[in-house]
Amino acid sequence: MTKRIGVILLPLLILMSISFAQTPKATTGIKFFEGKWAEALVKSKKEGKPIFLDISASWCGPCKLLKRNTFTDKTVGEFFNKNFINVELDGEVGEGKQLAQYYNLEAYPSLFFVNGQNKVIHKSLGYMTPDALIELGKEALTKK
């Protein structure tokens, strides 16, 4: 009986420790706005912050790296959460597809900085390290 309990509890404890170990990293990075694009534009106008828009694709390797290595970085999160309304969309689905067409998407990932009037003020393509993304954000703020 004791062996059975051990056989059941050991995998359960391992799964729990893995999920808890990943939680802090996921909560320290960029917090993305959950809502419609029109709502993000309204929020941008109201708060006087530009929108940081990440348009990616589910199959895109550099997009996955950006999400895993850069967007989860604590310093990136602090900077972007303070200075931007952050939005991430899949460029092949729903509003993401519409915005990809509207902004003439050239490649994945595409990083746009958009003002409250839906005008691109700065953009970049491809993977970026945390430091490079912060520098890009600083450049965008000078153009707002």
Cα 13 from Cα 15, distance rounded (Å) = 5
- By the 8 A CB rule, do 113 and 84 touch? yes
Among candidate residues 40, 57, 60, 128, the one labeled active-site is: 60
The one catalytic residue among 63, 85, 114, 133: 63
| Whole-number Å distance between alpha carbons of 94 and 99 | 9
Q: Note if 61 is an active site residue.
A: no
Cα of 44 vs its chain's centroid, Å: 17
| Nearest alpha carbon to residue 58 among 16, 34, 92 | 92
For the question of residue 111 being annotated catalytic, the response is no
**Which are the catalytic amino acids?**
60, 63
